Structure 1
Amino acid sequence: MEEVLEKARRLAREALGDGFDHGYPHVLRVRKWAWEIVREERLVVDSLVLDLAVYLHDIGRVIGEPHAYYSALFAKSFLESQGVGRDVIDKVVNAIEYHSYSYAKTKKVEPVAVEAMVLSDADKLDALGIVGFLRVFSYNWRKGSSLEEVVEHFYEKIFNLKNMMHFTYSRAKAGELTERARAALVYFIEELPEEDKSRVKAVLNKYSSREG
């Protein structure tokens, strides 16, 4: 199965490119987090399932949204064409569908194996910390979001990811990385001109009142 794994890795690299937020560098960071979780939690996983799910989890972004649906669809077709066993395919597809919180919630997708939970946590960890901070700006500015919408994204999604983790290690690391991202946002806003600060003041007041 090493050949199939290498093909999946190559497909991800070619399809996703070098974009920082959701390109192949993101895939590599997710893989790093995934195997850290496995090691720290001493989990028993199917390495083929986990690595295939990691490499293919975002490949559907080149097709459209919901990317988890298209990624899973592509993964199923690709793995079937490579003669991969049904049990592996089903677990990879489930992990890909489950990694997206919004898609899993809408479609009521539940993890069928530990690899799905590992991928979910790993993908969310890469949305936190300084890397996550940079990804938010890279992604939102590319799609034309306003400064206010970018700041809201942190409070509506990023700062809540720590509550979605499955494993003790993930939760601890997410707490640490959330504080890094929060601090980075504070410093970023401090360095803005007064005109821009006033634009996000209402957003900050809204969420500070909620948290208070």
Structure 2
Amino acid sequence: MRIIEELVKTLLGCDFDHGYPHVKRVLKWAERIVLEENLNVDQELLKTAILLHDVGRIIGEPHAYYSSLVAEELLKELNLEPSFIGKVINAIQYHSFSYSREHAVKPGSVEALVLSDADKLDALGVVGFIRVFLYSCRHKRTFEETLKHFDEKIFRLNNEMAFQYSRLKASQLAEETRSLLNKLLEES
């Protein structure tokens, strides 16, 4: 696991929005979900999928697809079981809001559901608000396009959650996000 962690730190760097700090936050959210929902999960599988879920961003979009390719090759090199690798790939592909819909990816494990919820929770609240603007600046989105992203994706994440705890937290965090956005609009 240490090898994977070090590789991910190197590949993703320290960017707040999708770098290693994001991965660490997703790990924390996943721990909370597992605890609050009293889930029986394969911790190694969950941590591996979380660590690798965004590594494909260094290649481009669709990042879930590229992340799954990188994960597959890396995990094969580490001589991990094919069934384990398959579950990691599924979790990585399923976590993406858009990729899982476009390619009809269904969750193959509870770990896939946990990763998906944890990743989405990191898109909400103060952290999520900051992440949206960092990503938008990096990708040269206009202010109007960024506002549209909140309505089209961010404020709909609550409906995408698999677990009750995730839905509750998403609802609370979405209120924080909306409050921040309203304050920003007042000042703009």
- The bucket for the TM-score relative to the shorter chain is over 0.9
Is 1:95 the counterpart of 2:91? The answer is yes
Q: CA shift at 1:143, angstroms?
A: 1.0
Is 1:64 the counterpart of 2:64? The answer is no
Q: Residues of 2 paired with 1:26 and 1:158: CA distance?
A: 16
Q: Residues of 1 paired with 2:43 and 2:173: CA distance?
A: 26
- Per-residue Cα deviation, 1:182-205 (whole angstroms, up to 9, x for no partner): 00000111112xxxxxxxxxxxxx
TM-score after normalising by structure 2: 0.99
Q: CA shift at 1:124, angstroms?
A: 0.2
Alignment map for 1:17-32 (pairs within 5 Å):
17-32=13-28
TM-score after normalising by structure 1: 0.88
Is 1:37 the counterpart of 2:20? The answer is no
Q: Residues of 1 paired with 2:70 and 2:135: CA distance?
A: 23
Residue type of the alignment partner of 1:150: T
Is 1:149 the counterpart of 2:145? The answer is yes
Q: CA shift at 1:101, angstroms?
A: 1.5
Find the counterpart in structure 2 of residue 196 from structure 1. Answer: none
Q: Secondary structure at the match of 1:20?
A: coil
Residue type of the alignment partner of 2:179: A
Q: Residues of 2 paired with 1:141 and 1:81: CA distance?
A: 36
Q: Residues of 1 paired with 2:90 and 2:44: CA distance?
A: 14
Alignment map for 1:163-178 (pairs within 5 Å):
163-178=159-174
Residue type of the alignment partner of 1:50: L
Q: Secondary structure at the match of 2:90?
A: helix
Alignment map for 1:63-142 (pairs within 5 Å):
63-142=59-138
Q: Residues of 1 paired with 2:160 and 2:135: CA distance?
A: 21
- Per-residue Cα deviation, 1:34-53 (whole angstroms, up to 9, x for no partner): 11000000000000100000
Q: Which runs of 4+ in 1 moved over 2 A?
A: none
Aligned residues: 188
Q: Residues of 2 paired with 1:101 and 1:156: CA distance?
A: 12
Q: Residues of 1 paired with 2:157 and 2:31: CA distance?
A: 19
Find the counterpart in structure 2 of residue 204 from structure 1. Answer: none
The partner residue of 2:46 within 41, 45, 50 is 50
Residue type of the alignment partner of 1:48: E
Q: Residues of 1 paired with 2:104 and 2:148: CA distance?
A: 26
C-alpha RMSD over aligned residues:
0.6
Percent identity over paired residues: 54
Q: Residues of 1 paired with 2:165 and 2:118: CA distance?
A: 11
Q: Secondary structure at the match of 2:14?
A: coil
Q: CA shift at 1:142, angstroms?
A: 1.3
Residue type of the alignment partner of 1:118: V
Q: Residues of 2 paired with 1:109 and 1:150: CA distance?
A: 27
For the pair shown, the structure with the greater C-alpha radius of gyration is 1
